[in-house]
Amino acid sequence: MANIASSPVVPGANDNLSGVAVLVALAERLREEPLDGLRVMLVSCGAEEVIQGGINSFAKRHFPTLDQDKTWFLNLDTVGSPILVMCEGEGPVVMEDYFDRRFRDLVARVADQSGAPLRRGMRARNSTDAVIPSHARYPTAMLTSLNRAKALSNYHLPSDTPDNVDYRTVAHALHVTEAVARELAVNPWI
Q: What is the pLDDT of residues 2-29, one digit of tens each?
A: 665 677 778 888 888 999 999 999 999 9
Per-position b or e across 88-107, b if 16+ CB within 10 A of its CB: bbbeeeeeeebbbeebbebb
What is the identity of the amino acid at 159?
A: S
CA 58 – CA 12 distance, rounded (Å):
22
Pairing of strands 83-90, 140-146: antiparallel
The pLDDT of residue 11 is: 83
pLDDT in tens, 48-94: 666 777 899 999 999 999 999 999 999 999 999 999 999 999 988 89
CATH class of 12-186: alpha beta
Integer Cα distance of 85 and 95 in angstroms: 17
Residue 156: the pLDDT is 85
Q: What is the pLDDT of residues 151-162, one digit of tens each?
A: 999 888 999 999
At 6 the pLDDT is 72
Distance CA 76, CA 6 (A): 27
Among left, alpha and beta (phi > 0; psi -120 to 50; other), residue 115 is left
Percentage of residues in the chain having pLDDT higher than 70: 94
Distance CA 144, CA 130 (A): 11
Q: For position 48, what pLDDT does the model report?
A: 66
Q: Are 109 and 187 within 8 A, CB to CB?
A: no
Determine which helix (DSSP H) or strand (DSSP E) holds 87, and give its type and residue range. strand 83-90
With beta carbons less than 8 A apart as the criterion, state whether 79 and 152 touch.
Answer: no
Q: How many residues in the chain?
A: 190
Top-confidence residue, 44 or 50: 44
Per-residue pLDDT tens for 106-137? 999 999 999 999 999 999 988 899 999 999 99
Instruction: Report d(CA 81, CA 13) in Å as an integer.
Output: 11
DSSP, collapsed to helix, strand or coil, labels residue 166 as coil
